[in-house]
């Protein structure tokens, strides 16, 4: 199979197809991560100067804990967007998987079985999304939008709009337990990102994902099972949303049927800010990780600065716009980035 571009590799002796003699500052500008790193540095510097505790160890751990649900869901969203698709249902999957699994634990199901049930619900929804997208050839936007509405409705129906609580404390372990002062959820977040990166970067399946996203016709002619890859990617996205639901329930010690309501926007924002192309075929999980951190730093800094939570989405929208604008400018000025 031909080499696919994940946005980080370049042909030896060139930088993104240009001579290696190109000036260092142009190479720096053309890399995918500098706008996010710059934004992180500026935001962190501002919040550290205006608030007393921003750079404290406890607050930095809090930021990572707060973005654990977002980050895990964003890994699956990255893979979907690499296919030039979209998954709008991740937030609704977190809600319905959370309330159902918590209800099972409350009604006497063994906690490990209830947790596996949450992941299984996500996997099943992902398979349905992938099947309608790749076998029925429906637009992923429409399929996942419909699934978002269905799953959100089911979460409200099965709970009658009520919060589920009173289940065993052991069900909260992934969301609330710590090891050596580090939340278990942070460890799971890091593990999911590392495994996802290894899969995308070093396996044939990862190369197939980039190939399908880059040119689906060429990938099919090269022998890639486009339908299989698409369904598996959507299943991964759903399964990770199911895993995230367990962490969300554990953090809150309750399952709320409207949990994750705004998460679809945040996951897509993190992926786009991280440099993954909405047209597919270009992007990396390290970029998404930086996007998740940027959103986490922004939300945390605004909160400890006593800025109204109503500003969160507005400022997030501005950040997305600026990130995409910079991305477009760099590509027009310097070509495809290495």
Q: Over 50: is that where the pLDDT of 166 sits?
A: yes
The reply to whether 265 falls in a domain is yes
Structural domain boundaries enclosing 324:
31-334
The reply to whether 5 falls in a domain is no
Q: Over the chain, what is the mean pLDDT?
A: 88
- Beta strand ranges found along 126-265 (DSSP E): 178-179, 182-183
pLDDT at 322: 78
CB 208 within 8 A of CB 77: no
Q: Over 50: is that where the pLDDT of 299 sits?
A: yes
Residue with tokens 């906690």: 111
pLDDT at 110: 98
pLDDT at 215: 95
Q: Over 90: is that where the pLDDT of 19 sits?
A: no
Which range (42-51, 145-154, 188-197, 310-319) has the least confidence? 310-319
The arithmetic mean of pLDDT across residues 12-19, rounded, is 42
Residue that wins the pLDDT comparison between 73 and 22: 73
Q: How far apart are CA 9 and CA 118, in angstroms?
A: 37
Overall residue count recorded for the chain in this entry = 338
H/E stretch holding 18 reads strand 18-19
HSE-CB at 33 with a 13 A cutoff on CA atoms is: 15
The reply to whether 42 falls in a domain is yes
The reply to whether 20 falls in a domain is no
pLDDT at 13: 40
Q: How far apart are CA 247 and CA 284, in angstroms?
A: 24
Three-state secondary-structure class, residue 170: helix
H/E stretch holding 104 reads helix 90-106
The reply to whether 21 falls in a domain is no
The arithmetic mean of pLDDT across residues 278-287, rounded, is 91
User: For the segment 117-131, what is each residue's pLDDT rounded down to a tens digit?
Assistant: 999 999 999 999 999
Q: How far apart are CA 119 and CA 225, in angstroms?
A: 25
The reply to whether 200 falls in a domain is yes
The arithmetic mean of pLDDT across residues 325-333, rounded, is 70
In sequence order, the β-bridge partners of residue 182 are 179
Provide, rounded to the nearest whole percent, the portion of the chain with pLDDT above 70: 87
208-221 burial: b if 16+ Cβ within 10 Å, else e: bbbbbbbbbeebee
Which range (20-24, 108-112, 137-141, 259-263) has the least confidence? 20-24
User: For the segment 189-233, what is each residue's pLDDT rounded down to a tens digit?
Assistant: 999 999 999 999 999 999 999 999 999 999 999 999 999 999 999
Residue with tokens 């372990």: 173
Residues 6+ apart with CB under 8 A from 15: 22, 27, 30, 338
CATH assignment at residue 115: 1.10.3470
pLDDT at 198: 97
Q: Over 60: is that where the pLDDT of 17 sits?
A: no
Q: Over 50: is that where the pLDDT of 329 sits?
A: yes
Q: Over 80: is that where the pLDDT of 274 sits?
A: yes
Burial class (CB in 10 A: 0-12, 13-18, 19+), 59: middle
HSE-CB at 191 with a 13 A cutoff on CA atoms is: 9
The reply to whether 54 falls in a domain is yes
The arithmetic mean of pLDDT across residues 154-177, rounded, is 96
The arithmetic mean of pLDDT across residues 150-179, rounded, is 96
Q: Over 80: is that where the pLDDT of 323 sits?
A: no
The reply to whether 303 falls in a domain is yes
Q: Which of 149, 147, 105, 153 is nearest to 130 (CA)?
A: 147
Structure tokens at 150: 């269905």
Domain count, the chain: 1
Structure tokens at 165: 């609580």
Query: For the CA atoms of 54, 55, 59, 65, what is the dihedral angle to 10 degrees?
Result: 110
Q: Over 60: is that where the pLDDT of 165 sits?
A: yes
User: For the segment 229-262, what is each residue's pLDDT rounded down to a tens digit?
Assistant: 999 999 999 999 999 999 999 999 999 999 888 8
CB 94 within 8 A of CB 262: no
């Amino acid at each position: 199979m031909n080499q696919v571009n994940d946005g980080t590799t370049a042909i030896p002796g060139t930088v993104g197809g240009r001579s290696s003699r190109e000036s260092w500052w142009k190479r720096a500008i053309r890399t995918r991560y500098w706008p996010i790193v710059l934004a992180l540095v500026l935001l962190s510097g501002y919040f550290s100067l205006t608030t007393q505790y921003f750079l404290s160890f406890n607050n930095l751990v809090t930021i990572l804990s707060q973005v654990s649900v977002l980050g895990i869901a964003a890994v699956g969203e990255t893979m979907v967007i690499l296919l030039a698709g979209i998954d709008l249902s991740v937030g609704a999957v977190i809600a319905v998987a959370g309330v159902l699994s918590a209800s099972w634990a409350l009604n006497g199901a063994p906690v490990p079985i209830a947790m596996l049930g949450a992941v299984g619900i996500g996997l099943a929804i992902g398979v349905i999304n992938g099947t309608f997208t790749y076998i029925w050839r429906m637009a992923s936007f429409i399929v996942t939008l419909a699934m978002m509405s269905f799953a959100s409705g089911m979460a409200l129906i099965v709970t009658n709009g009520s919060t589920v609580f009173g289940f065993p404390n052991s069900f909260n372990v992934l969301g609330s337990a710590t090891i050596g002062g580090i939340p278990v959820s942070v460890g799971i977040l890091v593990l999911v990102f590392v495994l996802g990166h290894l899969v995308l970067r070093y396996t044939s399946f990862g190369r197939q994902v980039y190939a399908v996203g880059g040119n689906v016709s060429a990938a099919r002619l090269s022998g890639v099972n486009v339908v299989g890859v698409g369904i598996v990617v959507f299943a991964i996205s759903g399964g990770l949303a199911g895993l995230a639901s367990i962490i969300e329930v554990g953090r809150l010690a309750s399952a709320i049927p409207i949990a994750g309501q705004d998460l679809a926007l945040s996951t897509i924002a993190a992926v786009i800010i991280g440099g993954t192309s909405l047209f597919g075929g270009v992007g990396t999980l390290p970029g998404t990780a930086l996007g998740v951190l940027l959103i986490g730093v922004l939300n945390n800094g605004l909160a400890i600065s006593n800025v109204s939570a109503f500003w969160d989405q507005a400022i997030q929208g501005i950040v997305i716009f600026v990130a995409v604008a910079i991305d477009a400018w760099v590509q027009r000025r310097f070509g495809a980035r290495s």
